[in-house]
Structure 1
Amino acid sequence: MGGAAPLEGVTAPLEGCRAVRHAGPVTVDFGRTSQDYARYRTVFPPELFTRLAAMGVGRAGQRVADLGTGTGVLARGFAAAGCAVTGVDIAPKLLEEARGQDAAAGLEVAYRCAPAEDTGLAGGAWDVVSAGQCWHWFDRPRAAAEARRLLVPGGAVVVCHRDYLVLPGNVCEASEELVLAHHPQWPLAGGTGIHAEWTLDILRAGFGGLETFSFDVEVPFTHEAWRGRMRSCNGVGASLPEAGVAAYDSDLARLLDERFPEEPLMVPHRIWALVARRGPRD
């Protein structure tokens, strides 16, 4: 199998993990939508890993702890580059999906069921601590402190995110308006794909040398795939009851047929990343 060998002693049983997060008044459990999440969420593009490697992050042989790994999307990208990767997540069903996708890709990633804020991994043992598509779900000051504890001196913390872009009249705007019609308390609509506030979490934890970058890509979706992507949304499949998810999906199918009949849909996305370093003498 591809990738460097994971560190010994880091795989934990899946039982007993609590896979629930809270976003204001909304309770979110991505385990409920793990199959849609694994099948329809887009991966990080190769350009992200190329840019990170140019910054000395994610190179072959490096030891990477991927927090909030979910279905292992970011973890597999680093494993494909030859890193020894351990993914950490609180959702057992997502980790099950991650293992299946690793096997299909011929890659090896170790997994541990634990919160990002208290991973139980060895401190001072990791060259890179990463978090992809998940920083907003953490107790961010605690997660930043845990990242610093895990890293070797001079090691890098990497926070990555990919957002579809809500623009006037586009399918993203219409789909989110429909989420709000079914789930009026959903607090995470909108956004620019730039997460400047997260830089303060990292700086306050004592990291230095902080850099950020972003770039935009268009991602093709069939109607079926876009419906699956939106079912995996925290405001839909991860928080609505089963009947509510089905009702949203039916309405979205109708909306796509009436307003966005073309296939594939070309959906704009923004990739954003933050990289910072633990001091060499910390």
Structure 2
Amino acid sequence: MQVDFGRTSTDYVQHRAGFPEAFFKRLDREGLLRPGLRVVDLGTGTGTVARGLAQRGARVTGLDISAEMLDAARELATEAKLRIDFRRARAEDTGLPSGAFDLVVAGQCWHWFDRPAAAREAIRLLVPGGRLVIAHFDWLPLPGNVVEATEWLISCFNPGPSASVAPLSQSSGVYPPWFRDVAEAGFTQLESFSFDVSVPYSHRAWRGRIRASAKVGASMPPETVARFDAVLAQLLTESFPADPLGIPHRVFALLATRP
């Protein structure tokens, strides 16, 4: 499956809300945030994590391989009156100076990288004592809920496997393999946290959120996306008429330290 999030950048901007406020508050409680913090946001996408950190006084460099996503990120940062240095670069080879950053963050993207190479690059970028945060914000498919039904529909339209995306139905929102990735790169003091939140979505917004997914708008042909969206709209009307929907999500974060 060839995935290009630039193909769905409009839906991504409008309907992928990004990490909740509670995530940034938790990072603050963990002692990870302070004014002037030098941060690299890997796989920044439309810059949701980068903006959240910049709003708290961090000096953020956001990296992504998609020019379309970076254009959207710059526009959103300008609208928010935030100064963020967005650059086109790979997480595995950033081109940034060694030992120049206090924090490296990868939000909702670690699975897309060459993970061992990205972990080695992260430890190169950090000062001694610098921290790496790998975070996810995943919806939760539970028996009979709208997420489970939506994932089933996605699989009907796009059943092909992907080496980069775990099977949707197996998603628990927790990522044990990431611990080995960072430990083998030399990180220490590994910790993690997780918590659940419910996110309200109107039917229209949920359809947009799903179009902005890897196995829908980022990989299906446009005509297939349109057919899928029509079937999803019918499914919501007939089986999940509540509007807005309450979509359960899990925040997960792995914290690691460069010795």
**CA positional deviation for 1:42:** 2.0
Is 1:90 aligned to residue 70 of structure 2? no
CA distance in structure 2 between the aligned counterparts of 1:277 and 1:117, rounded to whole angstroms:
18
- Count of matched residue positions in the alignment of Structure 1 and Structure 2: 254
Matched AA of 1:189: L
**CA positional deviation for 1:268:** 0.2
Aligned ranges 1:147-158 → 2 under 5 Å: 147-158=122-133
Tell me what 1:232 maps to.
Answer: 212
Residue by residue over 1:192-229, the C-alpha shift from the partner in whole angstroms, topping out at 9 and shown as x without a partner, is: 00011111101110000110000000000000000000
Matched AA of 1:135: W
**TM-score normalised per structure 2:** 0.96
Tell me what 1:215 maps to.
Answer: 195
Aligned ranges 1:248-267 → 2 under 5 Å: 248-267=228-247
Q: Secondary structure at the match of 1:210?
A: strand
Q: Secondary structure at the match of 1:28?
A: coil
Is 1:160 aligned to residue 160 of structure 2? no
Matched AA of 2:152: E
Asked if structure 2 preserves the Cα contact closer than 8 Å seen for 1:220 and 1:266, the reply is yes
**CA positional deviation for 1:119:** 0.5
Tell me what 1:273 maps to.
Answer: 253
Q: Runs (4+) of structure 1 moved beyond 2 Å?
A: none
CA distance in structure 2 between the aligned counterparts of 1:71 and 1:259, rounded to whole angstroms:
32
Gaps of 5+ in 1: 1-25
Asked if structure 2 preserves the Cα contact closer than 8 Å seen for 1:186 and 1:235, the reply is no
Residue by residue over 1:59-117, the C-alpha shift from the partner in whole angstroms, topping out at 9 and shown as x without a partner, is: 21100000000000111111011000000000000011111111222212111101100
RMSD: 0.8
Residue by residue over 1:109-163, the C-alpha shift from the partner in whole angstroms, topping out at 9 and shown as x without a partner, is: 1111011000001110000000001000000000000000000010000111000
CA distance in structure 2 between the aligned counterparts of 1:144 and 1:151, rounded to whole angstroms:
11
CA distance in structure 2 between the aligned counterparts of 1:262 and 1:87, rounded to whole angstroms:
37
Residue by residue over 1:153-198, the C-alpha shift from the partner in whole angstroms, topping out at 9 and shown as x without a partner, is: 1000011100000000101001110001101114431200001111
Q: Secondary structure at the match of 2:168?
A: coil
Residue by residue over 1:228-274, the C-alpha shift from the partner in whole angstroms, topping out at 9 and shown as x without a partner, is: 00001100000000111111101100100100111100000000001
CA distance in structure 1 between the aligned counterparts of 2:154 and 2:3, rounded to whole angstroms:
15
Tell me what 1:67 maps to.
Answer: 42
Which residue of 6, 23, 36 maps to 1:48?
23
Residue by residue over 1:28-48, the C-alpha shift from the partner in whole angstroms, topping out at 9 and shown as x without a partner, is: 010101111111002211211
Asked if structure 2 preserves the Cα contact closer than 8 Å seen for 1:155 and 1:278, the reply is yes
CA distance in structure 2 between the aligned counterparts of 1:134 and 1:64, rounded to whole angstroms:
16
Tell me what 1:100 maps to.
Answer: 75
Aligned ranges 1:163-242 → 2 under 5 Å: 163-187=138-162, 188-190=167-169, 191-242=171-222
Matched AA of 2:168: A
Matched AA of 1:259: S
CA distance in structure 1 between the aligned counterparts of 2:181 and 2:24, rounded to whole angstroms:
23
Q: Secondary structure at the match of 1:214?
A: strand
Matched AA of 2:226: A
CA distance in structure 2 between the aligned counterparts of 1:252 and 1:58, rounded to whole angstroms:
40
Q: Secondary structure at the match of 1:93?
A: helix
Which residue of 221, 246, 249 maps to 2:226?
246
Asked if structure 2 preserves the Cα contact closer than 8 Å seen for 1:180 and 1:186, the reply is no
CA distance in structure 2 between the aligned counterparts of 1:119 and 1:142, rounded to whole angstroms:
11
Aligned-pair identity (%): 54
**TM-score normalised per structure 1:** 0.89
